[in-house]
Amino acid sequence: MTLSPSASITLGDFRYDSHGTCLSVTLSLLPGVNSFSIDVPSAATVSCEPGDPARLNLNGGEGSTTLLVGTVRGVRRGFSRTRVTAADASADLASLRSAATFIGQAGADVAARLADEAGVSMGDNDLDLPLSAYAADQRRTAAEHVSYLAGLGGALAVIDADNRLALRRRPSGPADLALRYGRELIACDVRDFAVAAPAVPIGNGPAGSADAPDALRPTTTPLPDRATAPGLDARWFAAPVLRTPGVAVAAAAAYQMTRAGAGRRLRARAFLLPKLRPGMVIEIQSLPDSLADGTWLLTRVTHRLRAHDAGTTVLDGESLAASTGLPGLRAAAVAAVGSLL
């Protein structure tokens, strides 16, 4: 059976099912921006303008999948083609630099408030991050604030296929989908590299709970109070939003486990697989021995479809399997966390 990939793009009042000559889609974890660009022959009618609704459905030959719902962000017209660029709510979050302060609200509530300020709907919200206060200074975009809070709470921030902000616990498996080298996968590149000293978020506060009366009182000692000393074995960075020992230890653990998987990176090229999105876990089978099979967390997915080929998907991810990471890397991360407890 031969698969016949196709795309259906709605731009403003018009839908384009066969006019596109080149389509490129990029989906990322926040603070990255999800977007697509489509080239249409200049002879075709393209009346959309920035701000008009946009929608992309992609069919790899096994059924249509909604990849992106958003708005047109730019239109470029030339003699031979018109290129339209569209993006989803991630672009709205990336364009907002809030100056709000939140008192007595958990991390999940802060993220929801920032999304509301940007005009973005909230989907899944699994972030568990008790906070006493949070100041959204304008040095970061709303997308960066949400991603930062998600990281402290051991979660991932994404814009889902329905154009909603979703905060989901960082997965550890099992895989959402199994791919096989030589079947779906065309090429694969696995990179192992040394990781710098683990980053340790250091808070400041004496309180036992986020809502305690003294939760905002400063102290001279850091949190966690038994964190590995800064130097070759640890790199401290200030996270004053961490005001209680429990949340400081949990945030340190989240950072170390994230670093454990970052020592092995994946880039693979496959036949067009529209169902793949950042935040999913995949299992790759039948790789050559030097690469080794494993499970991977997808951090970026790029789909490309042109008139003269069958379409491809490029995957970027990081290792989720402890046994396939750098020797001793995950053990070192666990030991670093253990020293905080």
Return d(Cα 106, Cα 131) in angstroms, integer.
5
Please answer whether residues 300 and 27 qualify as being in contact, where contact means their C-beta atoms are separated by less than 8 angstroms: yes
Task: Write out the two tokens for 62.
Answer: 């096994």
Please answer whether residues 81 and 129 qualify as being in contact, where contact means their C-beta atoms are separated by less than 8 angstroms: no
Confidence band of 210 (pLDDT split at 50, 70, 90): confident
SS3 76: strand
Backbone angles phi, psi at 62, to 5 degrees: -125, 20
Return d(Cα 301, Cα 284) in angstroms, integer.
15
How do residues 61-80 score in pLDDT, each as one tens digit? 888 999 999 999 999 999 99
One-letter amino acid at 59 equals N
DSSP 8-state code for residue 109: H
Quick one: what percent of the chain has pLDDT higher than 70?
92
Give the architecture (CATH level 2) of 94-169. 3-Layer(bab) Sandwich (3.55)
Please answer whether residues 58 and 67 qualify as being in contact, where contact means their C-beta atoms are separated by less than 8 angstroms: yes
Task: Write out the two tokens for 158.
Answer: 């994404």
Residue tagged 């991932």 (tokens): 156
How do residues 219-266 score in pLDDT, each as one tens digit? 778 888 888 888 888 889 899 899 988 899 899 889 888 887 778 899
Of residues 164 and 231, the one with the higher pLDDT is 164
On the question of pLDDT at 53 being above 50, the answer is: yes
Residue closest to 135 by CA, chosen among 167, 108, 105, 165: 105
Backbone angles phi, psi at 154, to 5 degrees: 70, 35
Of residues 326 and 287, the one with the higher pLDDT is 287
Of residues 38 and 231, the one with the higher pLDDT is 38
CATH code 2.30.300.10 region(s) in the chain: 6-87, 177-193+262-325
Homologous superfamily of domain range 177-193+262-325: Baseplate protein-like domain - beta roll fold (2.30.300.10)
Lowest mean pLDDT among 6-15, 44-53, 126-135, 187-196: 187-196
On the question of pLDDT at 334 being above 50, the answer is: no
DSSP 8-state code for residue 111: H
Question: Taking the CB of residue 182, how many other CB atoms lie within 10 A of it?
Answer: 9
Q: Give the pTM.
A: 0.88
Write down the pLDDT at residue 233: 83
Backbone angles phi, psi at 118, to 5 degrees: -85, 0
How do residues 105-123 score in pLDDT, each as one tens digit? 999 999 999 999 999 999 9
CATH code 3.55.50.10 region(s) in the chain: 94-169
Residue closest to 158 by CA, chosen among 49, 247, 77, 278: 278
Domain 6-87 has CATH 2.40.160.50: no
How do residues 82-105 score in pLDDT, each as one tens digit? 999 999 999 999 999 999 999 999
